[in-house]
A = this chain, B = another copy of it.
Amino acid sequence: MIGGRATGPLSERKATCRAGSNIAFIKYWGVAGDFEDLNIPLNNSISMTLADAHTTTTVAWDDSGCLQEDTVAIDGVELVGPSAERTVAHLDRLRAIAGVSYRARVVSNNNFPMASGIASSASGFAALTVAGAAALGLHLDATRLSAVARQGSGSASRSLFGGFVEWERGWGGESEAKRGESESNSLLDSRSVARQLHSEDHWALRDVIAIVSTGAKRVSSSSGHRLAATSPLNAARTGCVGAWLETVRRAIAERDLCLLGPILELDALAMHGVMMTSTPSLLYWQPGTLEVLQAVRTWREDEGVPVYFTIDAGPNVHLICEAEAAAEVERRVGALPAVGRVLTSGPGTGPELLDGHLI
């Protein structure tokens, strides 16, 4: 039995959720200093929820009191000590909202490699939030769930919705004192949440993910967010994001890849410029990353292939194109020596509760 450490029979409240990861077109990078623990971002972000890169999570709360501590297994590996802390902290949020002290068993599986630029924390914390809340019988709408998921992982707030999604910064210049009188108020405060711009049927866009490295990152993106403000380039990027968001919203509304693409690349490169110049410097790129970036530029500029890139906090490259170009892009990117695996996804729905369970 995976994830079990119970000493007696368990009485369980159980639910399973599958949630898609998402790929951001305008990136979330950096948290506001006063609100670090709440993951209030420095800027709005816009993403597409992915149909085919998802996490399936079962949360089983033990209301018998037999389970002494939370157990967490991801992709078949039981997490112990510090590696489970982030999940346990999120279970604490759900316990605080429900007013219970049940421990939980969590089993979670990704259908893609973790910690390598595909946002496993986005789909993971979205699925954990939805399954955990459902199993506790909490009646929270998607907006409230987005607020809760955000506190586990900022980008998870966007995975609460399908299709094309904007996460609004929400909180502005409020002082620390004003942010909420009680802990539970803060947990459900819905100022900084995602909303759907368009459903998954709006635009047949594809994210062709070139996986150049499956190794774990040296610095997790959750730590990296705390470093954004140390970069001399950070304020310049966040100062531009307002205009870029407007362009991206319009590009999505009009299904205009030629409008979307250049901003997509610009913001990804600006974000990595910020990362590389933070202290300590975050250099997420690997040789294979550059092989793909250079190839994409050549294909588009010399051969007219309509494809653009974006890169999350990792070495892998997301190639964004329309459905009709996807096969050609997959063929080309799969032939690059540095690319180990190619995973393609269109826009997907929001999280779904499933009938079966992983435990």
Kindly state the separation between the CA atoms of A285 and B294 in the bound complex, as whole angstroms: 9
Kindly state the separation between the CA atoms of A273 and B240 in the bound complex, as whole angstroms: 15
Closest beta carbon of chain B to A284's beta carbon, Å: 10
Kindly state the separation between the CA atoms of A283 and B294 in the bound complex, as whole angstroms: 8
Of residues 131 to 151 in A, which have CB atoms within 8 Å of B's CB atoms?
Answer: none
Evaluate contact between B294 and A281: CB separation under 8 angstroms: no
Evaluate contact between B265 and A269: CB separation under 8 angstroms: no
Evaluate contact between A286 and B294: CB separation under 8 angstroms: yes
Closest beta carbon of chain B to A21's beta carbon, Å: 25
Contact of A293 (CB < 8 Å), options: B265, B266, B279, B283: B283
Of A173-181, A230-238, A316-324, A343-351, the one with at least 4 CB within 8 A of chain B: A230-238
Of residues 214 to 255 in A, which have CB atoms within 8 Å of B's CB atoms?
Answer: 232-233, 235-237, 239-240
Evaluate contact between A266 and B290: CB separation under 8 angstroms: no
Which residue of A270, A273, A285 has the most chain B CB atoms within 10 A of its CB atom? A273
Interface size of A by CB at 8 A reads: 31
Evaluate contact between A270 and B269: CB separation under 8 angstroms: no
Closest beta carbon of chain B to A172's beta carbon, Å: 22
Which residue from chain B places its CB closest to the CB of A266 in the assembled complex? B277
Of residues 49 to 69 in A, which have CB atoms within 8 Å of B's CB atoms?
Answer: none
Which residue from chain B places its CB closest to the CB of A212 in the assembled complex? B287
Any chain B CB within 8 A of the CB of A84?
no
Any chain B CB within 8 A of the CB of A110?
no
Which residue from chain B places its CB closest to the CB of A337 in the assembled complex? B287
Of residues 253 to 296 in A, which have CB atoms within 8 Å of B's CB atoms?
Answer: 262, 265-266, 269-270, 272-274, 276-277, 279, 281, 283, 285-291, 293-294
Any chain B CB within 8 A of the CB of A338?
yes
What are the residues of chain B within 8 A of A281 when measuring CB–CB? Answer: 265-266, 269
Any chain B CB within 8 A of the CB of A297?
yes
Closest beta carbon of chain B to A223's beta carbon, Å: 15
Closest beta carbon of chain B to A5's beta carbon, Å: 35
Evaluate contact between A270 and B265: CB separation under 8 angstroms: no
Given A233-B237, A290-B287, CB of A276 within 8 Å of CB of B273: yes
Given A287-B290, A287-B338, A297-B283, CB of A235 within 8 Å of CB of B232: no
Contact of A273 (CB < 8 Å), options: B277, B286, B338: B277
Kindly state the separation between the CA atoms of A279 and B263 in the bound complex, as whole angstroms: 11
Q: Report 15 cross-chain contacts, Cβ distance below 8 Å, ordered by A residue.
A: A232-B236, A232-B237, A232-B270, A233-B237, A262-B279, A265-B281, A266-B281, A273-B273, A273-B276, A283-B290, A283-B297, A286-B294, A287-B289, A287-B290, A287-B338
Return the 7 tightest CB-CB contacts between A and B, nearest first.
Answer: A273-B273, A287-B287, A236-B236, A269-B276, A232-B240, A287-B291, A287-B290
- Additional A-B contact list (20), CB under 8 Å, known A233-B237, A273-B276: A232-B239, A232-B240, A232-B266, A233-B233, A233-B236, A233-B270, A262-B279, A266-B279, A266-B281, A269-B277, A269-B281, A270-B273, A272-B273, A273-B273, A273-B274, A287-B287, A287-B288, A287-B289, A287-B291, A289-B290
Which positions in A face B, CB cutoff 8 Å? 232-233, 235-237, 239-240, 262, 265-266, 269-270, 272-274, 276-277, 279, 281, 283, 285-291, 293-294, 297, 338
